[in-house]
């Protein structure tokens, strides 16, 4: 299967200018040392750091993404950022529908789908996030919830070239808890089946499905070696270049 592993860092609401410059510079320098790495790298800083990070990544193979976007290209939407603006400042990706946005900003599947469509129209690739809460998991609704989220928040027009799915169990984010590798593989395989139904087998087989939620150097190799896990969306451990690169080292050979 020719799915290139994607090692993605979601910096969330962290970092001032100097931190962003240093972190991006360190990641770029480490990735450069890998020569032609077998995997792809992505960092997603907060909006305020995009320009600084872009400069620090210059000449490196590390792509940059944002953490959200609006559905419109421009206009009267105070405080929002459009996908066209993100593309303009050097982003090639945008994370959409992260559970923290679903919770903090009441984002619905429908809105997330519209954001993804707008991002694709602007020429951005999307990382669309899904995942169950602890209560949903306890009620054995994980696959149902993920199915509903995929059906509602992934555009019908999505392809493996413009869309990446991130499975992030809400209860595993920032908690140090992770599902067992067997559970992760079961959910990822189920997600791929749903994608096949929605987008066709060709797209589903090529589309990358990342795991996110307390991924760190100690558990990355086990998670990233699962057949249907095509990379990681890393929060806390992406804020330290050495941890981020240690996670990558478990799968990206020189
Ligand atoms: P942590 O790696 O800090 O658990 O965060 C995961 C996440 O939410 C990435 O989007």
Please give the pLDDT value at position 146. 98
User: In the annotation, is 110 catalytic?
Assistant: no
How large a percentage of the chain has pLDDT more than 70? 99
Mean pLDDT in the chain? 97
Q: Is residue 43 part of a domain?
A: yes
Ligand 1: centre distance to CA 202 (Å): 29
The answer to the question of residue 133 being in a domain is: yes
Instruction: Give the mean model confidence (pLDDT) for residues 20-40.
Output: 95
Give a yes or no: residue 125 inside a domain. Answer: yes
Q: Is the Cβ atom of 96 under 6 angstroms away from ligand 1?
A: no
Which residue is closest in CA terms to ligand 1's atom 9? 235
| DSSP one-letter string for 45-101 | --GGGHHHHHHHTTTSSEEEEES---SSSSSS-TT---HHHHHHTT-SEEEES-HHH
214 lines ligand 1 (CB under 6 A): yes
Predicted local confidence at residue 250, as pLDDT: 86
Residue 135: CB atoms within 10 Å? 10
d(CA 7, CA 245): 9
% residues pLDDT > 90 (the chain): 96
pLDDT per position as a tens digit, 178-192: 999 999 999 999 999
- 3-state DSSP assignment of residue 32: helix
Residue 32 maps to which CATH number?
3.20.20.70
Note if 106 is an active site residue.
Answer: no
pLDDT band at 1 (very low <50, low <70, confident <90, very high): low
- Residue 237 Cα: closest atom of ligand 1: 2
Residue-number span of the structural domain to which 99 is assigned: 6-71+78-249
pLDDT tens-digit readout, 222-233: 999 999 999 999
Which one of 30, 40, 70, 98 is the catalytic residue? 98
Q: What's the confidence (pLDDT) of residue 252? A: 84
Alpha carbon of 19 to ligand 1 centroid (Å): 19
Q: Which of 44, 168, 172, 184 to mutate to test the pocket of ligand 1 (most atoms within 8 A of CB)?
A: 168
Distances (CA, A) of 61 to 31, 41, 72, 144, 168: 7, 7, 29, 37, 25
Whether 213 lines ligand 1, by a CB cut-off of 6 Å, is: yes
Instruction: Say if CB 92 and CB 124 are below 8 A apart.
Output: yes
Asked if 61 and 24 touch (Cβ cutoff 8 Å), the reply is no
Domain contains 28:
yes
3-state helix, strand, coil in the chain (%, to 5): 45, 15, 40
What mean pLDDT do residues 21-27 have?
A: 98
Q: Is the C-beta atom of 178 inside 6 A of ligand 1?
A: no
CA of 62 to the centre of ligand 1 (A): 19
CB-based contact 207:195 (threshold 8 Å):
yes
Buried b (16+ CB within 10 A) or exposed e, 66-75: bbbbbbeeee
User: Is 173 touching ligand 1 by the criterion CB < 6 Å?
Assistant: yes
Distance CA 155, CA 97 (A): 13
What does the pLDDT look like over 88-131, one tens digit per residue? 999 999 999 999 999 999 999 999 999 999 999 999 999 999 99
Structure token pair of residue 37: 């790495």
What pLDDT digit, counting tens, does each position of 36-85 carry? 888 999 999 999 999 999 999 999 999 999 999 999 999 999 999 999 99
212 in contact with ligand 1, CB cutoff 6 A: yes
Each residue's pLDDT tens digit, 203-228? 999 999 999 999 999 999 999 999 99
With respect to residue 143, please indicate whether it lies within any of the assigned structural domains: yes
**Residue 230: which residues within 8 A CB-CB, separation 6 or more?**
3, 4, 5, 6, 164, 208, 209, 210
Which 8-state DSSP code applies to residue 167?
E
The predicted structure's pLDDT at residue 224: 97
User: Is residue 47, in this structure, part of any structural domain at all?
Assistant: yes
1 lies in some domain: no
* Structural domain count of the chain: 1
Sign of CA dihedral 93, 99, 105, 111: positive
CA–centroid distance, residue 187 to ligand 1 (Å): 18
Q: Is residue 175 part of a domain?
A: yes
CA proximity to 95, closest of 179, 11, 216: 11
Q: Is the pTM of this model over 0.85?
A: yes
Q: Is the pLDDT of residue 254 over 80?
A: no
Among 37, 57, 58, 43, which residue's Cα sits nearest to residue 8?
43
Two tokens at 168?
A: 């992030």
**Pick the catalytic residue: 100, 117, 168, 188?**
168
C-beta of 94 in contact with ligand 1 (< 6 A): no
């Amino acid at each position: 299967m020719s799915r290139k592993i994607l090692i993605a860092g979601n910096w969330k609401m962290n970092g001032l200018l100097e931190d962003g410059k240093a972190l991006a510079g360190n990641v770029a320098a480490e990735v450069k040392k890998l020569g032609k790495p077998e995997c792809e790298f992505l960092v997603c800083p907060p909006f305020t750091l995009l320009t600084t990070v872009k400069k620090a990544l210059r000449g490196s193979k590390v792509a940059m993404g944002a953490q959200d976007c609006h559905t419109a290209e421009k206009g009267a939407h105070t405080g929002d950022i459009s996908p066209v603006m993100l593309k303009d400042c050097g982003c090639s990706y945008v994370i959409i529908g992260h559970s923290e946005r679903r919770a903090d900003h009441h984002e619905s599947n429908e809105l997330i789908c519209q954001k993804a469509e707008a991002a694709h129209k602007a020429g951005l690739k999307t990382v669309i996030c899904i995942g169950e809460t602890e209560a949903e998991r306890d009620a054995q609704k994980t696959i149902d919830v993920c199915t509903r989220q995929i059906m509602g928040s992934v555009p019908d027009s999505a392809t493996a070239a413009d869309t990446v799915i991130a499975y992030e169990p809400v209860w595993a984010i920032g908690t140090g808890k992770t599902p067992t590798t067997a559970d992760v593989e079961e959910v990822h395989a189920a997600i791929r089946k749903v994608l096949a139904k929605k987008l066709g087998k060709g797209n589903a087989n090529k589309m990358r499905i990342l795991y996110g939620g307390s991924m760190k150097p100690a558990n990355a190799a086990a998670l990233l070696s699962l057949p249907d896990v095509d990379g990681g969306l890393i929060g806390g451990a992406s804020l330290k270049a050495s941890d981020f690169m240690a996670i990558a080292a478990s799968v990206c050979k020189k």
